[in-house]
Amino acid sequence: MYQEKVKQGVQQAVTQCPTINQNTTITALQQLNQTFTNLYNDLRAGIQEGTKDEMASLLSKLQNNEDITSQEIELIRLWVIGDAHSYIKMENNYEEWIQEAQRLVEVVKSLSTKKLTPSLMGDLQGVARDATRTLSDITFYKENLERTKKFEDSVKNLTHRQQIVSCRDVESENGFGQCLSLLRHFASKFHILIQFDLARLTLPIKPGE
């Protein structure tokens, strides 16, 4: 079901507005933005639809206090921070945003030495508007980076049976199989999130069970 929707969304994204330039209309850009928004939502639903059986099995293992495997850790990663991880991986303008934010601060510093006329205030207003958009992009990037770091730190610093286990070390004796205490690091929020999404996919799992 969702695979077909994703294929249609991808096709629409590349054909709806194949060339974007200074002459592209606002309407066309808004429509393309909506197409990408729909595609993002369909991709998220498609990932969950394609892995819901595995996630249901994983939840059962967690509820029964069983160890989980490296593949199941990857599944948790996909559900919890998959979007953030892929965004950090694919985004390539972060350094440019940092440079632009610094440039805008220097512009304000330069303008601050001049007489504050209505015209100058208009110029400052334009810089402020530009800065808010740029800083918003930077903040969004850093928030996603922090999400991924917190997850990876949680996995890396797991404890099990009074023993520190590195879940990155697949060659260790215990390896990923000792990662049951993962839930202790993002317990209730993670569990509620997973069960809510599974319930939305009409699985026989309800929040709070």
Tell me: the pLDDT tens digits for 119-169?
Answer: 999 999 999 999 999 999 999 999 999 988 888 877 775 433 222 233 333
Crossing angle (nearest 10°) for helices 2-15 and 26-63: 150
Confidence of residue 170 (pLDDT cuts 50, 70, 90): very low
Assess contact for 54 and 47: CB atoms under 8 A.
no
Q: Which residue has the higher pLDDT, 142 or 188?
A: 142
Structure pTM?
0.73
Question: What is the secondary structure of 4-56 as a DSSP string?
Answer: HHHHHHHHHHHHSSS--STT--HHHHHHHHHHHHHHHHHHHHHHHHHHHHHHH
pLDDT above 90 covers a percentage of the chain that reads 47
The domain segmentation of the chain, as residue ranges, is 2-200
Confidence of residue 8 (pLDDT cuts 50, 70, 90): very high
**DSSP at 116:** -
CA angle 13, 14, 17 (to 5 degrees): 85
pLDDT given at position 208: 38
